[in-house]
């Protein structure tokens, strides 16, 4: 698998903590950089792909060895807030 720019160890943590820490750590990376997430929560297999799809990141792959799961995510170009930065917020529109 690719060389990571940042590694996140979530061993022993259960959902939603691995994903929350991944979101936090991804915010410090530049587009194109790679975050490696290491954990043992099987929920990673569902949570990480769904997050990547919503947030515009690219899942590079998973590996598992003796219950330890590793995955690699390349940071995408869109905002870390799952692409909602440009969404209209209540009260933002002007009424005429």
Helices 17-26 and 44-55 cross at an angle (nearest 10°) of: 30
Q: Is 56 left (phi over 0), alpha (psi -120 to 50) or beta?
A: left
Does the annotation count 71 as an active-site position? Answer: no
Cβ atoms within 10 Å, residue 68: 11
Structure tokens at 81: 């807030």
Give the active site residue among 5, 13, 15, 80: 15
Positions marked active-site? 15
């Amino acid at each position: 698998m690719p060389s990571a720019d940042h590694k996140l160890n979530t061993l022993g943590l259960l959902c939603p903590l691995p994903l929350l820490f991944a979101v936090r750590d991804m915010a410090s990376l530049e587009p194109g950089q790679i975050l490696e997430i290491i954990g043992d929560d099987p929920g990673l297999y569902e949570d990480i792909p769904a997050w990547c799809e919503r947030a515009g990141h690219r899942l590079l792959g998973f590996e598992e060895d003796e219950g330890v799961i590793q995955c690699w995510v390349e940071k995408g170009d869109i905002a870390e807030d799952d692409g909602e930065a440009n969404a209209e917020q209540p009260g933002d529109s002007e009424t005429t």
